[in-house]
Structure 1
Amino acid sequence: MAMNALRNLSSTDAEMSGAIARLSSGLRINSAADDPAGLIISEGMRAQIRGIQKAISNAQDAVNMAKTADAALDEVQRLLREIRAVAVHAANSGVVDSAQLQADQADIASAIQSINRIADQTAWGTRKLLNGTAGVTANITNITNVLGAYFGGTFSNLPVAAGSIGVNVTTAATQSTWTAATAYAGTATLGVGSFVLNGYTFHITATDTLADVMEKINNQSGNTGVVATIDSTNHLVLKSTEYGANFPITLFDPYNKFGAATNVTGVNAQAVVTVPTVQPDGTTAATTAAFTGGLRSGDSGLKLTDTYGNTITLTPAGGGATGSFTAGQLTTGNLLFQIGANWDQNVAFSLPSTRAEVLGSDVIPNKSLATIDVTVTGGATEAIKIIDAAISQLSQIRGRLGSFQKNFLESTLRSLNVTEENLTASESQIRDADIAAEMMRMTKTQILKQSGMAVLAQANQDPQLVLNLLRGG
């Protein structure tokens, strides 16, 4: 009887010790013996939770880095706007003298130095962001067929890898071309009249020959984007100065000097471009994508763009005929962000160089922002073209960076916070003690322990009574 009471008391004592351990630690599982299966699941969740907490910190660091880069790019764009204003002033050649041009050029040179300084010095810690080491650089080796190229780091939804750029022109670009139906031989005059070419009105006098009309058109080619020639059969031939459908020839001929009005357009080049990319399994493989010329308003039919904003600008020799060639080489230096708790949850982003020799390099052969000179004839006009291209290039970079920050990093942060919350709740359900239940259990064991000790004391009295009887009471 006493042994039975002692056994029950020992069991109650062990249960009470467990309850005290759970209440003091707040954990239901204090050792593997408490719940082996629960411990295995809980430890896996704890590792995930800690990894997610660090991934949240990583993603926030990435957001701050993106803000740093965007602030630097914003300053570069401000400088480009200032340079453009100076170039527009320099283009006013009717009133600007050589001293003013020299002052304008000095102002531009100072701004370009600032742009290069920003590109070289913008960093996150010791990691340079805008000098090209954190992005993809396209090095053109085939200058006969390719004027320039820009790759932002993503190609066909895959990260770009280092390697060669292959181009297969499937549709050749053409200029808008029109030939008049009426011929005017030698010194024959056209008679008094007028016509409108691409919104610009030309007047024909009684003594104007076809050669005189051709000269008038060519003198305004900067306004109309059209040049004129006379073919061997004495017909006027009009041709757009640029390639593609964005540069049509629209002729309104109310005096019927050329036989008919017209509205003709050129053809945009189309090509299949092949570059190496990083596959989902980490290997590198050649990937192709379709590029289309003149995709954006004002773009030449020789400026080919894909759906990710990557561009290749071909020369008339490269885009004016179908065929395949190697354009150049890609070098890469992507920024890699670990934005998840597991080894494969990372993302790469590319920030290309914003140095002056890279900006605006795909407009005029062998020229860029670094080479503009408004003191030479036509330099201001070229400068405006190059600066406009540079501004567009910077806008694309900032747009990609902003999209990456908003739609990926900040979205990932929100998702990770929710994941951490739910995973922590699940791990708590397995690992943590139910305090109310444990308090009830402890109260019960306290009562059982007290009653058990009382019963044990009573049970220990029974042998004493027997001994007393044997002694004769």
Structure 2
Amino acid sequence: MTRINTNVSSLVAQNRLQSSNKDLNSALTRLSTGLRINSGADDPAGLIASEALRSEITGLNKSITNTQRASQIISTADSALGQVSNLLNDVRGLVVEAANSGALSADEIEANQLQIDSSLEAINRIAQTTTFQGRKLLDGSLGFQTKAGTNFGNVKDLQVDQANLGSTDKVDVSVTISKAAEQASVSLANIPAGITAESATGDLTFTSQTAAAASTVDFTLGTESFTLTADADGVAGDDLSVVVANTGASGTSPVVSKTGDEYTITLASDSTATADDIALAFNTFVDANDDDVTLTTTGGTTDVGAATLASTSLAGGADIGAATTATINLTAKEGGTASNITSIAYAEVSGTTPPTAAFDSGTGVLTVTVDDASSVTLDSIVDAINAGDDFSAAVEAGGDFTSFDPTISAGAGSNFVDGIDAGGGLAEAAVFELQGASGSEVFNVSKGTTIDELVSQINLVSDATGVKAEADGTTLNLTSTAYGSAAIVDINVISEASTGTLTAAVGAGKRTTGSDIQAKVNGIDASGKGNSLKINTSTLDLSLTVNEGSNENITFTINGGGAKFQLGSDVVGNQQARIGINSVNTARLGGTAGKLFELGSGGSAALSKDPSKAAKIVTEAIGQVTGLRGRLGAFQATTLDSNLISLNETKANLQEAESSIRDADFAQESAKLTRAQILVQSGTNVLSLANQNPQNVLSLLR
């Protein structure tokens, strides 16, 4: 049927031509952009997946850049640390050289000290000037910050290498110690203490008293002199008095009487009595009355006449004084029981000036002889004793007198006692080897060596063996200077008789080891070595050393610091890494032996003061720097480099995935383009034919 109002064929051709044009435009767009998805209409689901992958790829690109930059920072720090290591090695060489003081002059050692001072200055300069785009790397600003908690004073050294501080920017650390580190120890029982020979001692004691004095009075009658003397010495005679009166009967002899303590001699007014008559009459009276008083005269037959005398009293009497003592201490010049002699004898012999001292070895008597009349000083007796070969003497401090009169003093000697022979120590000579963590030493000791002498010999080389000794009564305790499983005490008896002391104590030998600390850090078992523990997890990497043998739990907080690197595409804690880089200046480098700055001129570890301490400090400093370099190198190699490889591989995979979704397949799109071009051309021709069909109606009308 032929119709002209509705050209169905033309409409069909138009629709097909429009569809072909759309396909042609789509192919041209994809081929010109290289993308299969140019708008959401092209593939809504594919667009969503593609954009998500693009976002991840963008983050990965920045992560790769971040990782590369972090690696550059680590490389910069490591390069500077390498120079610090070189300087420290030079310092160590100078210290070892300066320890050869027997071969080096003072000027050479001083020159070494100047080089050390320069090296220390260079290390400080490197610590302050090592930067990356203005960011200082080795001055301590990249080290972790900590806040002390419970028992933090027990921490001798703390090194936080890495820590993930999370969203709170801090992490609490709890160290629970279940067992403290222990030293290795071996005890040798029944080591006899040494008995030192002791010399016998004795005392020579002198007693001195003030002599009594008689009371006297002198008087004169006429031309004659008289002396009235109390026979008994002492002050009691001072109470006596005498008076002479001339009221007696004419021509009678002198009459003597006594009233109380007063004697009266009565003479006649015309008396012709002589001095002798008066003395005779007086002494006859006192004898009859048993009085202790005597009247003497220097006169004789001269007539005294009717002389008189006012009452006069006796005076000058003195009692015997209180006893005082002084002592000379004597000591035998040779020790042992042989110095316990029998006694000390004291003798007074006329003409013995100065005093003498003689020792009779046969009788064991030391005899001290002084003059029996001359005054003697204690110092002169001491000089006499010290002049001999057997004894020494000294005046005891606090003696009440220093010289005496032998006629009124007596010396008493005590026996020499307390002499002790030397003894004790090892029962037999022995050769033994002692080994510790630092090395071994062979000791050759003789019979009688005391426990104190063993302690002295062992401690003399404790720095070479790592074993120290201490005496506890008769027990010799050998203890390692170090703690942990690496600490050992090994004693091996090489040669000793079967009755020897060491063999009885440890047999052929004995060996023990110490034990390491056992602890948990935030509930995770830590690796222990001596008094140090270490933990390394994805969120925390630290090492900690506690006081020797400490078993107290410790808490602290890491509240900032560290160099934080964003290593993943998401800004979350598990895609970040923090590493601590502590200061390497001379005030920070070092350990338990001291800090590096102490090696400077005037410091406690300067070459002129303590090269041994200097060597220990430098060794610890080298270990710190080497450990830091190793830690940074491990972080760079294992964390950064591996992360970089992983990121690049992930990026490649994601780009491939995104390309497979979004990129155009040129072969497929080229085929579609050709098909679309052909369909458009064909559709155009068909539409032209379809539009010509209605014209066929005109032929019907003709």
- Please, what TM-score do these two structures have when normalized by structure 1? 0.83
Which residue of 560, 563, 581 corresponds with 1:352?
Answer: 581
The alpha-carbon deviation at position 248 of structure 1 amounts to: 2.0
Alignment of 1:195 with 2:432, yes or no, is yes
Alpha carbons of structure 1 residues 246 and 442: separation in structure 2 relative to 1, 3 Å: closer
Q: Matched residues in 2 for 1:408 and 1:207: separation?
A: 65
The alpha-carbon deviation at position 469 of structure 1 amounts to: 5.1
Contact between 1:188 and 1:210, CA under 8 Å: does it hold in 2? no
Q: Deviations over 1:266-291 (max 9, x none)?
A: 34333445xxxxxxxxxxxxx34445
- Residue 370 of structure 1: aligned partner: 597
Alpha carbons of structure 1 residues 36 and 346: separation in structure 2 relative to 1, 3 Å: same
Alpha carbons of structure 1 residues 428 and 323: separation in structure 2 relative to 1, 3 Å: closer
Q: Deviations over 1:419-450 (max 9, x none)?
A: 22222222222212222222222222222222
Which residue of 266, 275, 278 corresponds with 2:514?
Answer: 266
Alpha carbons of structure 1 residues 207 and 35: separation in structure 2 relative to 1, 3 Å: closer
* Superposed counterparts of 1:416-427, under 5 Å: 416-427=647-658
Query: Which has a greater percent of helix?
Result: 1
- Residue 313 of structure 1: aligned partner: 545
The alpha-carbon deviation at position 382 of structure 1 amounts to: 1.7
Q: Matched residues in 2 for 1:10 and 1:146: separation?
A: 84
Which residue of 237, 253, 257 corresponds with 2:477?
Answer: 237
Contact between 2:569 and 2:575, CA under 8 Å: does it hold in 1? no
Contact between 2:563 and 2:579, CA under 8 Å: does it hold in 1? yes
Contact between 2:186 and 2:477, CA under 8 Å: does it hold in 1? yes
Q: Matched residues in 2 for 1:330 and 1:90: separation?
A: 42
Q: Deviations over 1:93-132 (max 9, x none)?
A: 3334443333333322222222222222222222222222
Structure 2, unaligned runs of 5 or more: 1-8, 196-422
The alpha-carbon deviation at position 314 of structure 1 amounts to: 2.7
Q: Matched residues in 1 for 2:19 and 2:183: separation?
A: 97
The alpha-carbon deviation at position 200 of structure 1 amounts to: 0.9
* Superposed counterparts of 1:24-63, under 5 Å: 24-63=32-71
Query: Which has a greater percent of strand?
Result: 2
Q: Deviations over 1:53-99 (max 9, x none)?
A: 22222222222222222222222222221121122222333334443
Q: Deviations over 1:344-369 (max 9, x none)?
A: 363223132122222223x23xx212
Which residue of 125, 133, 149 corresponds with 2:158?
Answer: 149
The alpha-carbon deviation at position 458 of structure 1 amounts to: 2.5
Contact between 1:101 and 1:375, CA under 8 Å: does it hold in 2? no
- Residue 343 of structure 1: aligned partner: 571
Alpha carbons of structure 1 residues 104 and 459: separation in structure 2 relative to 1, 3 Å: same
Q: Matched residues in 1 for 2:561 and 2:656: separation?
A: 40
Alignment of 1:76 with 2:308, yes or no, is no
Alignment of 1:121 with 2:129, yes or no, is yes
Alpha carbons of structure 1 residues 468 and 288: separation in structure 2 relative to 1, 3 Å: same
Which residue of 21, 43, 46 corresponds with 1:13?
Answer: 21
Q: Matched residues in 2 for 1:409 and 1:375: separation?
A: 41
- Residue 94 of structure 1: aligned partner: 102
Q: Matched residues in 2 for 1:160 and 1:135: separation?
A: 18
SS in 2 for 1:323: coil
Q: Deviations over 1:210-257 (max 9, x none)?
A: 43333222222222223333332x343333333344332221222144
Contact between 1:129 and 1:351, CA under 8 Å: does it hold in 2? no
* Superposed counterparts of 1:97-246, under 5 Å: 97-137=105-145, 145-154=154-163, 162=170, 167-185=175-193, 186=195, 187-190=423-426, 191-198=428-435, 199-205=440-446, 208-232=449-473, 234-246=474-486
Q: Matched residues in 2 for 1:329 and 1:37: separation?
A: 49
Q: Matched residues in 2 for 1:163 and 1:454: separation?
A: 79
Alpha carbons of structure 1 residues 454 and 62: separation in structure 2 relative to 1, 3 Å: same
Letter in 1 for 2:424: A
Alignment of 1:252 with 2:487, yes or no, is no
Letter in 2 for 1:368: K
Contact between 2:191 and 2:425, CA under 8 Å: does it hold in 1? no
**Range that drifts further, 372-381 or 249-258:** 372-381
Contact between 2:607 and 2:614, CA under 8 Å: does it hold in 1? no
Q: Matched residues in 2 for 1:451 and 1:36: separation?
A: 32
Q: Matched residues in 2 for 1:76 and 1:45: separation?
A: 46
The alpha-carbon deviation at position 140 of structure 1 amounts to: 7.2
Q: How many residue pairs get matched? A: 443
Contact between 1:336 and 1:346, CA under 8 Å: does it hold in 2? no
SS in 1 for 2:189: strand
Q: Matched residues in 2 for 1:151 and 1:422: separation?
A: 36
Q: Matched residues in 2 for 1:165 and 1:433: separation?
A: 55
The alpha-carbon deviation at position 159 of structure 1 amounts to: 11
SS in 2 for 1:182: coil
Contact between 1:140 and 1:146, CA under 8 Å: does it hold in 2? no
Supply the RMSD in Å over aligned alpha carbons: 3.1
Alpha carbons of structure 1 residues 429 and 18: separation in structure 2 relative to 1, 3 Å: same
Alpha carbons of structure 1 residues 355 and 160: separation in structure 2 relative to 1, 3 Å: farther
Alpha carbons of structure 1 residues 378 and 222: separation in structure 2 relative to 1, 3 Å: farther
The alpha-carbon deviation at position 330 of structure 1 amounts to: 4.3
Q: Matched residues in 1 for 2:80 and 2:167: separation?
A: 24
SS in 2 for 1:149: strand
The alpha-carbon deviation at position 151 of structure 1 amounts to: 2.0
Q: Matched residues in 2 for 1:267 and 1:458: separation?
A: 104
Q: Matched residues in 1 for 2:557 and 2:189: separation?
A: 48
Alpha carbons of structure 1 residues 4 and 207: separation in structure 2 relative to 1, 3 Å: closer
Q: Percent sequence identity over matched residues?
A: 36
- Residue 628 of structure 2: aligned partner: 397
Contact between 2:488 and 2:511, CA under 8 Å: does it hold in 1? yes
- Please, what TM-score do these two structures have when normalized by structure 2? 0.57
Letter in 1 for 2:622: I
Alignment of 1:455 with 2:686, yes or no, is yes
Alpha carbons of structure 1 residues 331 and 85: separation in structure 2 relative to 1, 3 Å: farther
Structure 1, unaligned runs of 5 or more: 274-286, 296-300
The alpha-carbon deviation at position 331 of structure 1 amounts to: 5.2
Contact between 1:135 and 1:351, CA under 8 Å: does it hold in 2? yes
- Residue 279 of structure 1: aligned partner: none
Contact between 1:138 and 1:150, CA under 8 Å: does it hold in 2? no
Contact between 1:160 and 1:332, CA under 8 Å: does it hold in 2? no
Contact between 2:64 and 2:648, CA under 8 Å: does it hold in 1? yes
Contact between 1:146 and 1:312, CA under 8 Å: does it hold in 2? yes
SS in 1 for 2:139: coil
